Amino acid sequence: MNVPTYLDRIGYNGSLTPKAETLRSLHRAHMLTVPFENLDISLGRPIVCDEVRFLQKVVTEHRGGFCYELNGAFAALLRELGFQVTMLSARVCRDDGSEGPDFDHMTLRVDLDQTWIADVGFGDSFVEPLRLDPGLEQEQSGRRYRITESGDRFLYAATSGDAWKGQYSFDLRPRRLSEFGAMCHYQQTSPDSHFTRKRICSLATPDGRITLSDDTFIETRDAQRKERTLAAEESRAVLLERFGVDLPG
């Protein structure tokens, strides 16, 4: 891996010492520069659970990706910098209260003096990593987050208005990248996967978030939401100008 090139990709020029402040700064930089997107699926470009492919796409091609790609690439960067990183399998919470299967999502455990959950691949989520401290409420930009423990599983939840809403659950069993391969294939091929139902490109901003959902551009700034429908020829320009994504072909 070319670490300087990766750091340049995310606009980071701070400390590289494996400590909590470095992790927070790297995580934030990643969230503000590398979009969560599934555009390769509609382009018919297979996504394979391979670290080299992830790094090529995110760093060299200046693209984003979904959880396996983004957290897979970020884990590789952190390890190269000397962080102790573990891939974890997560089950995404559904609207009806049930959960998806194992490997539905990849999140990361980072062990320093304290244990942290890092996740740059869950879309509209925490911009800086969360301490794995069950029950502790952690606030970022006016939104609250917490991780609770039940048996051998942990539930990550975030506030939605005044209510808490579960986002995903996970356990602490170390996983290998290859174990996510079958679900990665499912997510990009099954008609039951929400990733095959719409195109999405979403990026955190210093005061909110921008999202392109099919042909609708949504911008949230200081909790104020605006959206507009784009003409077909506008989408490509918006992807390049607002997200830094230049699609192939």
Catalytic residue among 104, 105, 184, 201: 105
Residue 147, classified by CB atoms within 10 Å of its CB into exposed (0-12), middle (13-18) or buried (19+), is buried
- Is 185 a known active-site residue? no
One DSSP character per residue, the chain reads --HHHHHHHTT--S--SSSHHHHHHHHHHHHHHS-EE-HHHHHT------HHHHHIIIIIS---B-HHHHHHHHHHHHHHTT-EEEEEEEEEBPTTS-B--TTSEEEEEEESSSEEEE-SSSSSS-SS-EE--TT--EEETTEEEEEEEETTEEEEEEEETTEEEEEEEE----B-GGGGHHHHHHHHH-TTSGGGT--EEEEEETTEEEEEETTEEEEEETTEEEEEEPPHHHHHHHHHHHH------
Catalytic residue among 49, 93, 119, 201: 119
* Interatomic CA distance for residues 196 and 144, integer angstroms: 30
How many CA atoms within 13 Å lie on the side-chain side of 242? 18
- Is 30 a known active-site residue? no
Catalytic residue among 67, 93, 184, 201: 67
- Is 95 a known active-site residue? no
Residues with catalytic roles: 67, 105, 119
